[in-house]
Structure 1
C-alpha cells in the first residue's frame, strides 16, 4: 500500500463521519484516463475532501512555501502535491500539470486560485482552461457545499464530464473555457444547496 492510499483511508475514516460528508455523483468520475477535477474553493481542507471521495489518487498544485516546512513538506509531496509559485506564470508547474494529465492521471484544481470568504463562487483564472485545452483530459466539475463544522452535513458533488470537443473546435480561449467550467460548478452549487 502506498503512503497516499494509507493516508487517504485514514483521513477518510475520520473526516467522513466528522463532517458528515455526503458525496454525490461519484459514478460520474472516470475510472481511467486523464481527468481535470475543477472545484470551488471554500476552505483549506477542500483538496483533502475532494480527493478522498473519488476512487483515484488526485494530484494538486500547492503553494511552494509548504514544501520547505519540515515534515509537512514531505507529507505534502507524498500526497501527490507539487509546488507552484503563486502570482507568477510558473512554467514548471504548468508542465508538471500537463504531464500528469497526459500520463492518464487526475489533476485537481481550484480555478478561483484562492478561497472564497463568502462561500460564493468567484471568477476563475485561465489556468483551468489552459489545462483543458492543452490536454485530452476529461474535465469534471465539482462543488463543495459547506459549512465545515463538526457533525454538520458537508456535500461534495461531482458533475458529469464537460464535453470539450466542440469547445476546442471553436478555438475558444483559456479564459472562455474557464468560464464554461465555472458555469458548470455554479450549476452544481445551485441545484444542491
Structure 2
C-alpha cells in the first residue's frame, strides 16, 4: 500500500466514520495475496471510497472517464491508481490495464452494473466482469453494500467467499454467463444480510 493511499484511506475514514456506522462482514474472505477481481453492487457515489476503507487490501478502481476531468478529484483518483474507462464502448486500453493489474497480483474493484442503481435493487451486470474473470486466474470476490446512506445509520459492507469459476473457465463459458453468476452471488449476499 502506498503512503498516499494509506493517507487518503485514513482521511476518508475520518470524514465518513462520524456520519455512518460501518459494519464490515467477511473481511477474512479477501485473500491476502494474489490477483482479486472485487465485484460490488453500486447504490451511491460513496461506494468506491467505502470499499477502499473497508477492504483489507489496496483496491484500484475502474472509474468513468468523466471523473478524471474534474479538477482536483481527477488528480486524487489517479494518485489512488484508479484508471478511466469509456462507458458504453469497448475500451481496449482500460481492459488491458485491468488484465495487467490482475495478472500482477493487484485488486481490481468493479461495479459490474456500470452505474448506480436508481431504486436500490441490483441491476444486470455488464460483460466486463465476466471478461476479467475468464481471462485471468484472479480470485473473484463478491461484495454487497447494504444501505441506505443516511446520517448515523448502519451501512453494511459484506465480502463473500471467492467464487469458484473453474468449471466455467474449463467449459469456455461466455463473459455474460460468468457475469450473471457473479451478480447472483452479490444478490445472495444482499438477501442474507439486509
The farther-off stretch of 24-33 and 164-173 is: 164-173
Equivalent residue runs for 1:1-193 within 5 Å: 2-193=3-194
Q: CA deviation at 1:33?
A: 0.5
Higher mean alpha-carbon deviation, 58-67 vs 120-129, is at 58-67
Aligned-residue offset at 1:64: 1.3
TM-score, normalised to structure 1's length? 0.97
Structure 1 residues 58-67 or 93-102, which shifts more?
58-67
Give the SS at the match of 2:17.
Answer: helix
Q: 1 CA distance for matches of 2:12 and 2:125?
A: 29
CA-CA distance at 1:13 after TM superposition: 2.8
- Distance in 2 (CA, whole Å) between partners of 1:71 and 1:13 is 20
Deviations 1:79-99 (A, max 9, x none): 121011111100000000001
Alpha-carbon separation, structure 1, partners of 2:74 and 2:42: 22
Paired with 2:190 and 2:56, the residues of 1 have a C-alpha distance of 22
Partner SS for 1:95: helix
- Provide the aligned C-alpha RMSD in A: 1.0
Q: Per-residue deviation at 1:69?
A: 2.2
Moved over 2 A (4+): none
Distance 1:163 1:82 in 2: 27
Q: Is the 1:15–1:21 Cα contact (8 Å) retained in structure 2?
A: no
Deviation, 1:14, is 2.8
Distance in 2 (CA, whole Å) between partners of 1:171 and 1:61 is 25
Stretches of structure 1 that go unaligned for 5 or more consecutive residues are none
Provide the C-alpha distance between the structure 2 equivalents of 1:139 and 1:50, rounded to a whole number of angstroms. Answer: 15
With 22-31 and 1-10 compared, the bigger mean Cα shift is at 1-10
With normalisation by structure 2, the TM-score equals 0.97
Q: Structure 2, unaligned stretches of length 5 or more?
A: none
How many pairs were matched up? 193
